[in-house]
Structure 1
Amino acid sequence: MFAEAADAAAAVARQLAANRAIVQVLAERLRAEPPPVVLTCARGSSDHAATYLKHLVETRVEIPVASVSPSVTSIYGAAPAARGMLALALSQSGRSPDLVSSMGRAAEAGALTVAMVNDADSPLAARCEQLLPLHAGPETSVAATKSYIAQLAASLALVAAWSGDTELGRTLAALPDRLAAAWKCDWSSLVDLLEDARGLYVIGRGPGFGIAQEAALKFKETCGLHAEAFSAAELRHGPMALVGADFPVLVVRQPDQSADATNALVEDLVARRVRVLVTGPPIAGALALPLPAACAVTTPILAIQAFYRAANALSVRRGHDPDRPPLLRKVTETV
């Protein structure tokens, strides 16, 4: 896990160089024939990347994005209307039968199907009309790391080209260097605080919510630590009842329109004597987790890169093997 996560910056650099022409052609098609809706189909870490993609598309292209449950097709045999839509499947292995089935039905219904997958020779890649390969390289650790970051980068590349946002394109070009810097960030305070924890919340909003979901999953699968992800806007709607001195909170922040409300939430938590970890600039009473300066949409990507290093260390500190989580396999084939 440590070695593969450390390779994320190089993986993103490979992807950006290899996919430039593919992304431009797909973006031109989407501009010429804008889909009324974008459908995403994914599971696990890939579904968390789809959450990030949803934010980008809805804010930069202003087209609604809906997550499709693979079982609707694979188990229940339904074929939702998809004519003219963009159906995008995200997967590391591309070998889950339910994703392949869902993309097949979407194609039959008239959708443009695109696979964002690490294995270019997988059944999912073969079933979709267009392929956006991740170029992450071999990933043998059960916990996905660099392939997840590669999905975030591919999402950013697609939306930058689709929207024609040149500033977003420049931000994307700088991402490998910033990922390398994020990998060096010292998050040892997270390891120290959570060594004996029994559970926590991971909070994010906007482009940070999918990253919060991914961090919560990694806490569970690599550290044996129960974690749930919530939007910063949802924590007060019930989940706040569990928060207290013995229930810490990790908050993923980025410098955008959500910052003031998220910072206010952190201040409220601190006032309640909750142990709070925050990414980025410090807030009085909270433990700050440093990150390189970046724009709002890439800051969460840097956060998950720094997090992976800390999660690996926390897993070892808690007596686990981060490369071999119990009862899990690298490729999960759901139907």
Structure 2
Amino acid sequence: MPTTMRQEIDEIPQAAARLLDQSAAAIRQAGAALRARDPNVVVTVARGSSDHAAHFLKYAIELQFGIPVASLGPSLASIYETPLRLERAAAFAVSQSGASPDIVAMTHAARDGGALTLALVNTLPSPLGNAATLAIDIKAGPEIAVAATKSFVNSAAAGLAILAEWSDDKALLAAVAALPDHLAAALKLDWSALIGPLSSARSLYMLGRGPALAIAAEAALKCKETCELHAEAYSSAEVLHGPVSLVAPAFPVLAFAARDKAEASVADMASSLAAKNADIYITSDKGAGVTHLPHIATGHAFTDALALIVPYYGMVEQLSRARGFNPDAPVALKKVTETK
């Protein structure tokens, strides 16, 4: 029998299609509310995989609108009880469960501080949904495996759909509409070339830039959660500021590159690390001395980046089993983490 994690990975295209169909009205309402607010800053509130989805949306918002986006530490509200000044702001709170007290408290504080608050949540009704101005059900469906997969993709997809409505960008609207088909194609990609090298690895780097950096961060977390394999995510520019000193011969590096303006720079860094005899894998046809991983060209930089996580999820579920673990039940972790 496939693991629950594998079954949930296989559900990603259908979950995305369900989101775009069943939450369409809420997505349009959120886009209209953002147009009306016309924020001069956006803040995000999230933890774990949800925070990686928020990081993905940070880059998408900044690239699409030129509006700065900052991540708020939930302890500002839950521990420090700091009043916020967010009169011209919008806030995105992202959570699978909608139950973590610090995320709920921060969302209350953002709304009380004047922000238009949008909750991207997989559980409604929920405390987070009640705390926000508008709640968007991401429609991922029940997610049983501890490691989030389809809820991460649907959180990011919901955010992109809202941005498309907010901007009325025809290219982005079309890319979001086509996303379920592209995710289905991504699901068929084979990244098993990574299984052998990573089965005995002790550490690795995940690299990216722009939206793909958020994908690298999510990939690193899944490696730790399901494989007990130390992985760190870095910007392909930041890796030169110290971390490169650990890159020795055969050190594994996975570089996430989308079809965007950063692709060449990510590939150049991958090539320079390959020249140190590191074991480099990249989601691009560019680069020298590297292993090229198959990827889906969706026709839009944002959905290109998001689609990269799907074959990675399939690979890391295999890797977990190859390393002797149960990806459905990582040791010392639980599905819903409630922090204060």
TM-score, normalising length: structure 1: 0.98
Between the two proteins, the alignment pairs up a number of residues equal to 335
Does the alignment pair 1:191 with 2:177?
no
Does the alignment pair 1:78 with 2:82?
yes
Does the alignment pair 1:43 with 2:47?
yes
Using the alignment, how far apart are the partners of 1:237 and 1:217 within structure 2? Answer: 22
Point out where structure 2 has 5 or more consecutive residues left out of the alignment: none
Using the alignment, how far apart are the partners of 1:25 and 1:193 within structure 2? Answer: 47
Which one-letter code corresponds to 1:60 in the other structure?
Answer: Q
Partner of 1:136: 140
Using the alignment, how far apart are the partners of 1:254 and 1:87 within structure 2? Answer: 26
Partner of 1:6: 10
Partner of 1:208: 212
Using the alignment, how far apart are the partners of 1:259 and 1:19 within structure 2? Answer: 33
Using the alignment, how far apart are the partners of 1:282 and 1:59 within structure 2? Answer: 23
Partner of 2:336: 331
Q: 1:14-53, aligned counterparts within 5 Å? A: 14-53=18-57
Q: 1:51-70, aligned counterparts within 5 Å? A: 51-70=55-74
Partner of 1:114: 118
Partner of 2:312: 307
Per-residue deviation, 1:25: 2.1
Using the alignment, how far apart are the partners of 2:65 and 2:71 within structure 1? Answer: 17
Deviating more after overlay: 15-24 vs 167-176: 15-24
Per-residue deviation, 1:58: 0.7
Per-residue deviation, 1:279: 1.1
Q: 2:291 aligns with which of 283, 287, 290?
A: 287
Partner of 2:325: 320
Per-residue deviation, 1:282: 5.6
Does the alignment pair 1:234 with 2:250?
no
- Write out per-residue CA displacement over residues 289-332 of structure 1, whole angstroms, 9 at most, x where no aligned residue: 10122232112211101100000000000001000000000000
Using the alignment, how far apart are the partners of 1:292 and 1:40 within structure 2? Answer: 28
Using the alignment, how far apart are the partners of 2:79 and 2:288 within structure 1? Answer: 51
Point out where structure 1 has 5 or more consecutive residues left out of the alignment: none
Using the alignment, how far apart are the partners of 1:34 and 1:292 within structure 2? Answer: 33
Deviating more after overlay: 69-78 vs 274-283: 274-283
Which one-letter code corresponds to 1:325 in the other structure?
Answer: P
Which one-letter code corresponds to 1:159 in the other structure?
Answer: L
- Write out per-residue CA displacement over residues 108-155 of structure 1, whole angstroms, 9 at most, x where no aligned residue: 111111110000111111111101110000000000000000011011
Q: Assess if the C-alpha contact under 8 Å between 2:267 and 2:286 holds in 1.
A: no
Using the alignment, how far apart are the partners of 2:255 and 2:24 within structure 1? Answer: 34
Per-residue deviation, 1:45: 0.3
Q: Assess if the C-alpha contact under 8 Å between 1:61 and 1:162 holds in 2.
A: no
Using the alignment, how far apart are the partners of 1:108 and 1:255 within structure 2? Answer: 40
Runs of 4+ in 1 over 3 A off after TM superposition: none
Which one-letter code corresponds to 2:301 in the other structure?
Answer: A
Q: Assess if the C-alpha contact under 8 Å between 1:202 and 1:215 holds in 2.
A: yes
Partner of 1:247: 251
Per-residue deviation, 1:217: 0.3
